[in-house]
């Protein structure tokens, strides 16, 4: 490695050097997160109604920092077209072509989350993962098939495509996270859980999964949540 190359980066392109580079980056990320957790713990300890929180009780989740904007008619139409195509897919085939979820079992369950009182995590984050919902809301044949069984049982009749589209249309919020899911309103998801996709109802982000996994076999405690972006604390847990 020449001096000029070393000045640019102390890591050359060889395998061991690149591995060392990745390890150094991971170590730096870990140190940053540990420092952020300690900052959050200190905030609780120094608050007027001080609570003794240790850094290991702090869960860092990503923060949705996207501004709200009016949900356009075009985005609504786009979602309804997607939903119609999923409905028609179910109607036209006896078996679903999306069977993957049948084998998915999330390693972290709702019970685990409750044990560590992480129910405020998503409210603090404000739906970072929902930004991926776009104009499909993760609606797929298996989810809709599953939800239709419930809806039709409740209504004691079959639901037509027009009725289905009208049902979902009732839940469009006025404003959504810009380019996020069409149901990502100011106060979170506007769809009832019985209409959300299996992905929406089962998904936990890696931050929640790793935190819960790390805590297993320890006495459950009330975790404190902070949402971060670009290594800055954007929001701490909403009580
Ligand atoms: S699962 Fe994770 S990324 Fe999604 S809303 Fe909850 S805390 Fe945020
Ligand atoms: S339907 Fe609700 S839970 Fe699912 S991605 Fe959209 S806002 Fe998130």
The three state secondary structure string of 172-216 is: CCCEEECCCCCCEECCEECCCHHHCCHHHHHCCCHHHHHHHHHHC
The confidence score (pLDDT) of residue 98 equals: 47
Helix%, strand%, coil% for the chain, nearest 5: 50, 10, 40
Over residues 156-174, the mean pLDDT reads 96
Q: Is the pLDDT of residue 237 over 60?
A: yes
Query: Which residue has a Cα nearest atom 8 of ligand 2?
Result: 130
**Mean of per-residue pLDDT scores for the chain:** 87
Among 94-98, 111-115, 225-229, the least confident range: 94-98
Domain range enclosing 37: 1-52
Give the pLDDT band (50/70/90) at residue 6. Answer: low
For the cut 90, the answer to whether the pLDDT of residue 111 exceeds it is: no
Q: Is the CB of 132 under 6 A from ligand 1?
A: no
Same domain, 44 and 111: no
- Domain match, 186 and 134 both: yes
The answer, yes or no, to whether any atom of ligand 1 lies below 6 A from the CB of 205, is: yes
Task: Tell me which residue has its CA closest to atom 4 in ligand 1.
Answer: 129
Dihedral over Cα of 38, 44, 46, 47: its sign? positive
The ligand minimizing its distance to the Cα of 126 is 1
Q: Is 184 in the pocket of ligand 2 (CB under 6 A)?
A: yes
pTM, full prediction: 0.81
Q: Is 181 in the pocket of ligand 2 (CB under 6 A)?
A: yes
The answer on 119 and 185 residing in a single domain is: yes
Q: Flag the least confident range among 30-39, 130-139, 167-176.
A: 30-39
Q: Which two tokens stand for residue 28?
A: 């730096």
Among 21-30, 74-83, 115-124, the range of highest mean pLDDT? 74-83
Residues 61 and 127 in one domain: yes
Which ligand number lies closest to the CA of residue 237? 1
Q: What is the three-class DSSP state of 228?
A: strand
Give the pLDDT confidence score for residue 95 in this predicted structure. 52
Number of domains in the chain: 2
Which three-class secondary structure state does DSSP give residue 156? Answer: coil
94 and 195 share one domain: yes
Read off the tokens for 149: 């069984």
Q: Is the CB of 122 under 6 A from ligand 1?
A: yes
Residues 23 and 86 in one domain: no
pLDDT digits (tens, 9 = 90+) for 48-62: 777 888 898 899 999
Residues 39 and 70 reside in one and the same domain: no
What pLDDT score does 102 carry? 46
Give, as one character, the DSSP assignment of residue 103. Answer: G
Residues 2 and 70 reside in one and the same domain: no
Same domain for 4 and 48, yes or no, is yes
Q: Does residue 15 share a domain with residue 129? A: no
């Amino acid at each position: 490695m020449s001096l000029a190359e070393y000045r640019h980066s102390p890591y050359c392109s060889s395998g061991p050097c690149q591995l060392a580079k990745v390890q150094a980056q991971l170590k730096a990320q870990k140190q940053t997160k540990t420092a952020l957790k300690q900052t959050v713990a200190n905030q609780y300890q120094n608050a007027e109604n001080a609570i003794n929180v240790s850094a290991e009780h702090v869960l860092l989740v990503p923060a949705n920092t996207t501004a709200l904007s009016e949900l356009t008619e075009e985005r609504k139409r786009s979602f309804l077209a997607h939903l119609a195509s999923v409905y028609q897919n179910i109607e036209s085939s006896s078996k679903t072509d999306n069977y993957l979820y049948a084998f998915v079992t999330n390693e972290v369950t709702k019970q685990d989350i409750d044990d560590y009182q992480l129910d405020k995590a998503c409210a603090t984050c404000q739906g970072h993962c929902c930004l991926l919902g776009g104009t499909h809301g993760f609606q797929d044949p298996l989810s809709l098939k599953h939800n239709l069984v419930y809806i039709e049982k409740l209504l004691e009749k079959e639901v037509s495509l027009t009725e289905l589209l009208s049902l979902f249309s009732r839940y469009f919020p006025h404003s959504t996270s810009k380019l996020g899911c069409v149901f990502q309103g100011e106060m979170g998801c506007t769809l009832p859980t019985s209409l959300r996709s299996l992905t929406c109802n089962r998904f936990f982000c890696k931050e929640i999964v790793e935190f819960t996994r790390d805590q297993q076999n320890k006495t459950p405690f009330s975790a404190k949540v902070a949402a971060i972006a670009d290594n800055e604390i954007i929001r701490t847990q909403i009580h």
